[in-house]
Each structure stands twice: as structure tokens, then as C-alpha cells.
Amino acid sequence: MSDKGSLNLTLADIAKRAGVSRSLASLALRGEPGVQREKRTRILKIAAELNYTPNPAARNLASNLSRTVGILVSDILNPHLAELAKTIDGAARAKGFSVVLSVDGSPDDAAERAITNLVAQRIAGVILIGAPDDIKIVEKFARRVPMVYVGRHLEAEAMDSVSNDDHLGASLLVRHLVECGHKVISHIDGGRGAGARRRREGFQVAMHSHGLEPQVIPGRYTLDGGSKGAKDALAKQPRPTAIFAANDLAAIGVLNSVLGAGLKVPGDIAVVGYDDMPFAASETLSLTTMHQPIGRMATQCIDCLIARIEDPDGPGTRVLLSPHLVARRSTLGGKFDPEATQERRSRAAGSRRRRIER
């Protein structure tokens, strides 16, 4: 018996016959972007054959569901993450989605509550920027709503992530420092922060490849994390001639401690960061760092989310984009000269002794 023109025919019936998800069928019937031409044609043909007429209330609900995206940011005070969120917001709106922003991404219990609140608003999907740290929380929600994690390379089979290649970025920074003549290099890591593990591993592998001993000091993606880490590094023997901070915020903390100790940058200690935040290029800082392709990350993120909306049960997509080095004054333009640096330190120590004797 044919169900053509049946009053009980629903959007779910159309989706089932077309072999697509309910949300994709809704997008196609409303003429929204994000639907492959072949699938859109098939869905429209089936709807016409069955004389499908959407229920107005259901249509409004589906519209709310399919055109709103939630964005969760781990730390809105981090300029890099704030810029990333703004760029993703623009990419989402360009694809016809409205955006709900949540800044309660830290700690993990706050992130979990924030995701719960976003899901309760019947959003089409969630974009996680650097939060939560506990991937089990991500896995739990990914079973309920399309989700993309930005800034962390996830290895789970059915989860989507977009990030820069932190392992590569760390190795490029090490190579730059080695080419400048540095052999004793400390890395102040980012703790459990997004990308921190791969940056730490990239640093260690690169140091070993150059025949050098990696020195990793616990830290965080914060000013205080960098400042404390730098103080710990300066207490080491031998003292490092270069410090690689896990991100630019931490690098500013490193600069504060290094300069506060009466040392010169880069004459006594070179400093590098990661992210290339806007202030890194300022004349005051002129920080050597690793630039992340934020525009491409935002575009890839929205493309991944739309693909997940279209195919909720599809395999996970893991996008790795290559960063590039931006060399500035915080590292030496020429070769590092340890003898000249030691001579400067000896003169400075002698000057301090003379002041004390007087």
C-alpha cells in the first residue's frame, strides 16, 4: 500500500527513504547550504513523489536545530583562542549558521556543564576550542551531537578534530634555535592544554635528533606558568641559553622572569613562543614564534562539522595543518656565541661584586 500523500508522513520517513540523516533531509528541503547536489536531488525527488508537506511546528524546530552552532572556548582571555573563536564564528555565519558562544570552558566540570547547556538548546553541532581537557567528556557528548574539537589532534576513530601540526611546529622551533648555536634548551610545557603533549613530544624528538638532551619543565598556557617555569629553568645547571615556551602567553611570562633576573634577550637567553598572537609582532616584544593558520583552521572546522551533520555515523576526520616559523628579535639573528655570553655574565657578576664591596 502506497503512503503517497499520507498525513502521517514525516521528515524522518523522507530521510530514511533517501538514505540520509534527518538533519540533512531538512537542510535539503529548505534549500540550505551544506548538501551535496546528488543527495539534494534525491531528497527533493522522494519528497515530491510522496507529496510530502512539512508540519509547520516541526519545520520550525528542525530549522532551529539545523541552523545554530555552539562554540565553547576554554579561555576567552587567551588572545589566540579569542581570535580563533571569532574567525570560526565568521566561517559558520558564512555557511548560513547562527552561533551561540560559551566561554565556560575551564575547568573540565564547567566545560561539561556548558556543553550540556548548549545541547539543550537543540543546536546542530558543537565546536570545542581547546576544552575540555578530558577527552572522555568529548566522547560522551559526541555520541549525542555532531562535534569538532579545534586545537587538539584526536586519535579516536569516530571523533573529528582540526589542529595545526604541533609536533612539526616544535621541531621547527628547535631546529631554528640549534641553527642559532644553542645546545642547552629548556621547554616550558603547557600541562594538559590542547596541543601541549604533541609540542612536548616534538621538542623531545627534535632535541634527540640533534644529539642534545631535552629539558622539559612543567608549565601552563599562562603568564604565571611561563614565569614560574622560567625561574625553574634559570636555576638549572647548566643554565639554558634558550627557552621554548609552550605558547606566546607563557613566553611573555618567561620574558618577565628572564629580564627580571638581569639577563638580556636574546644576548643571554633566547626566547621562543607558539601561536603568533597579534602582540608577538609588536616592537616591544618582537617574539620568535610558530604561526598557526587560523583562517584555514576555521574553514576546515566548519566543513568537518557540516560533514558530521550530514553523516552522523561516518568515520572521524582528523585535519592537521602545517604551521610556519616567524623569526623575530627574541632569538639571535646570527650564531649564538657562548664565549661572548659567558664574558658578559662574568663582567656583570664582577660589577655586582664591586657594588657590594663599596
Compare 345 and 248 and report the one with higher pLDDT.
Answer: 248
CA distance 239 to 234: 6
What is the CATH topology of the domain spanning 11-63? 434 Repressor (Amino-terminal Domain) (1.10.260)
Domain 68-165+293-325 and domain 166-290+333-352, same fold? Reply is yes
Mean pLDDT of 217-230: 97
* Domain boundaries defined on the chain: 11-63, 68-165+293-325, 166-290+333-352
Cα R_g (the chain), whole angstroms: 26
Mean pLDDT of all residues in 302-314: 88
- Please report the pLDDT score of residue 189 as a whole number: 97
Give the three-class secondary structure for 225: helix
- What pLDDT does 155 receive? 79
Q: How confident is the prediction for the chain on average, in pLDDT?
A: 87
Give, as one character, the DSSP assignment of residue 315: P
Between 66 and 119, name the one with better pLDDT.
Answer: 119
State yes or no: pLDDT of 357 exceeds 50.
no
Of 30-44, 164-178, 244-258, the range with the lowest mean pLDDT is 30-44
Burial class of 155 by CB neighbour count within 10 A (0 to 12, 13 to 18, 19+): exposed
Does this model's pTM top 0.85? My answer is: no
Degrees to nearest 5, angle at CA 279 with 274 and 283: 110
Domain 68-165+293-325 has what CATH class? alpha beta
Q: What pLDDT score was predicted for residue 61? A: 44
Higher pLDDT, 179 or 9: 179
pLDDT at 320: 95
Pairing, β 215-217 against β 160-164 = unpaired
CATH superfamily, domain at 166-290+333-352? Response regulator (3.40.50.2300)
**Mean pLDDT of the 95-111 span:** 94
Residue 351 has pLDDT above 60, yes or no: no
Residue 179 host element (H or E): helix 166-179
